[in-house]
Amino acid sequence: MKTIGLIGGTGWVSTQEYYRLINLEVNKKLGGLNAAQCILYSFNYNDIAELNQKNDHASILKLLIDTAQRLEIAGADCIALCANTLHYYADDLQLKISKPIVHIASATAQEIKANGLSKVGLLGTKMTMEEDFYKKVLSKSQIETIVPDDRGRAFVHRSIFNELIKNIFIDKTKEQFKAIIEKLREQGAEGIILGCTEIPLLINQSDIDLPLFNTLEIHSKAIAQFAVE
């Protein structure tokens, strides 16, 4: 079995779910008492948040490079960034490390194509929704991406940082997410990417009759698959 290098704490609420889901998936594949062989580095997310407020992308990338290289030295055979937004730095990070990054958007694109969809809505942080780092990966698989309007994007972003990343889940927030998803459906979305790994902890497939792509689960399965190949 390969050793997984996890970079988490962005935030801790979804990172603990990564650990649980990866171990469940490895055991499902191998049976018995098998579980994932992994090394976790968990950031103090406040450090990342302060750099984000300054738009200091260089310092965030340096933190990721330093951390990934430590994981490599410790024996990791791959690197997994336990957050959609951190994949903004994935291409630059890959140039500085020798082990492959298990990319969340690539895994999500494969799942969307397997379901025969070509146009999806994307929910996540403002960076994930507004920058092209995520959309361009989907575009390579001929998947068109749409995002909420300004007001919707602001609400989703605010909810992630004021509630979800703090382990706060409110029914009123869920209802607003459902309304935003309905607007995306009206714009032609055939499915919705839950493109922040905390969002699936608020809303799931039983809440919506449109296909939802749970990036936390999709990524965890892709990481587990890499480990057992």
pLDDT by residue (tens digit) across 64-113?
Answer: 999 999 999 999 999 999 999 999 999 999 999 999 999 999 999 999 99
CB count within 10 Å of CB 53 equals 8
Can you give the pLDDT at residue 79?
A: 98
Q: What is the DSSP string of 143-178?
A: -EEE---HHHHHHHHHHHHHTGGGT---HHHHHHHH
Dihedral of CA atoms 25, 26, 31, 34 in degrees, nearest 10, equals: -140
For 149, left (φ over 0), alpha (ψ -120 to 50), or beta? beta
Can you give the pLDDT at residue 67?
A: 98
**Which domains occur in the chain, in start order?**
4-103+218-228 (3.40.50.1860), 104-214 (3.40.50.1860)
Mean pLDDT for each consecutive 10-residue tract of the chain (229 residues)?
A: 97 96 98 98 96 96 98 98 97 98 98 97 97 96 97 98 96 98 98 98 95 98 97
Residue type, 129: M
pLDDT above 70: percentage of residues in the chain:
100
For 188, left (φ over 0), alpha (ψ -120 to 50), or beta? left
pTM: 0.96
CB 52 within 8 A of CB 61: no
Can you give the pLDDT at residue 125?
A: 97
Can you give the pLDDT at residue 220?
A: 98
